[in-house]
Amino acid sequence: MTPQLFDSVDAYNAGHPASPFPADRHTRHVLRGYRAALQGVTDDLTGTGSGASLTVDFLPGGAPLPHEADRVGTVVASRWGEGPVLVLAENVSLRAAWRAVTDAWPTHLSGVHTALDALVGAEA
């Protein structure tokens, strides 16, 4: 999947009402997401040259904990829950996406994208 970029959380939410980022910033910041050992994932994918530190979120609701039911949703990267928002995978098992990303343990966004592409290819 080619990542799709939204300028803001509101723009993302308008385009993905079934897998929204929570409106409240505090709630967004406590979602169970991937942060590469709290260092953030380096943006080497968007072509902006920013090298920004990003977090990968699993929406809706964050990556499911082991005792929680799986959900189908969207995987995004953002600047710690703020815009812009980059959609990396849609309509995927959030548990499988979490496992694919954490098994790969990428430090760069391209590595996250590769891990998710393998997952999406396996489900096709």
CB 41 within 8 A of CB 8: no
pLDDT tens-digit readout, 69-96: 999 999 999 988 888 899 999 999 999 9
pLDDT tens-digit readout, 23-60: 888 898 889 999 988 788 998 887 555 667 899 999 99
Whether the per-residue pLDDT at 22 is higher than 80: the answer is yes
Among 51, 53, 99, CA closest to 75: 99
Alpha-carbon gap, residue 116 to 97, rounded angstroms: 6
Length of the chain (residues): 124
Structure-token pair, residue 65: 């904990």
Global confidence as pTM: 0.91
Alpha-carbon gap, residue 74 to 65, rounded angstroms: 16
CB 11 within 8 A of CB 42: no
